[in-house]
Amino acid sequence: MEGMTRYDNNSADVNSASSSGAHPARVLLLGEGWESMDGALAAAADTGAVVLMGPEPAYDAFFGDESGGHGSGHNGSGPSVLLMSPDAELDAPDFNGDESAPLVLRCVADDDLDAPDLYQDSDDFITVPCAPTELIKRILRLARRRRAAADDVELIRVGGITLNPATYQVTANGRPVDLAWLEFQLLLFLMENVGKVFTRDQLLANVWGVENIGGTRTVDVHIRRLRYKLETGNATYFRTVKNVGYGMMEP
């Protein structure tokens, strides 16, 4: 696979995402012919919500001779989603119904959509070339599904807000609330630290995984969006401490 972009699961980007408390979807690329998807893959990786690994010619090649299994779970180094290339001439791994195994997202060309075995060896498919937003949406959907199946999820509640960290679902007084990836991660961090106040730099480090990027306005923007989406009626959840930063409190 010389000449193709390779993604290293031990890279600084992966370590930064893990140390920030986020749980990005780890995606192992299987097969060849990824050149047509370079743009979509790069955009997915840039979001911070997706960590790419590989590509590898086959699933076993990722773990080598020491594997004996399918990785170390969604919080370890193993993948949560297998992305099969449109040119992959291999079968998806058979995990025998193991709920902790990665799910399979197969890339297919338009003229392959009528293949009778399309769903027999994959959990979902996406036609290529595809928009980056569609690829990210499909990957995160499978990652949420896998985590929900593998974990005994404990919901997080603050006042009328309920957050499910496995399915990435948020409700406010029973009403579903649609949040972007970083809005969700910021809300999760604040809900896990109710009563505490953090500087903008601390929030950047813990949620975005970066420090001293030359501006903290992005934190203000995301707090404003959360207030707009979650503070209905007289409920106030997000506390601003002048010249310090932000925190979350019980209403």
- pTM exceeds 0.95: no
The angle that helices 181-191 and 217-230 make with each other, rounded to 10 degrees, is 80
As for how many domains the chain has, the answer is: 2
Do 16 and 135 belong to one domain?
yes
Lowest mean pLDDT among 63-72, 115-124, 214-223: 63-72
Read off the pLDDT of residues 68-98 as tens digits, 9 standing for 90 and up: 344 433 334 578 898 988 776 666 666 655 5
Q: Are residues 133 and 167 in the same domain?
A: no
Question: Are 104 and 180 members of one domain?
Answer: no
Mean local confidence (pLDDT), 119-139: 81
- What's the token pair of residue 231? 């503070």
Q: Does residue 3 lie within any of the structural domains?
A: no
Separation between Cα atoms, residue 39 and residue 231, nearest integer Å: 37
Pair of tokens at residue 57: 């010619």
| Cβ neighbours of 7 (radius 10 Å) | 17
Is 164 found in the same domain as 118? no
CA 105 to chain centre: 14
CA distance linking residue 106 with residue 31, whole number of Å: 11
Residue 209's CATH number: 1.10.10.10
139 and 16 inside one domain: yes
Structural domain for 65, as ranges:
12-150
Residue 134 lies in a domain: yes
The DSSP letter of residue 58 is S
Of the candidates 148, 55, 149, the residue with the CA atom closest to the CA atom of residue 107: 55
Judging by beta carbons within 10 Å of its beta carbon (0-12, 13-18, 19+), is residue 248 exposed, middle or buried?
buried
| Average pLDDT value for residue range 7-25 | 47
**Type of residue numbered 225:** R
Co-location of 171 and 115 in the same domain: no
When the pLDDT of each residue in the chain is averaged and rounded to a whole number, the result is 76
| pLDDT band (50, 70, 90) for residue 177 | very high
Regarding whether 202 and 124 lie in a shared domain, the answer is no
Displacement of CA 4 from its chain's centroid (Å): 23
d(CA 240, CA 231): 14
Identify whether residues 128 and 162 lie together within a single domain.
no
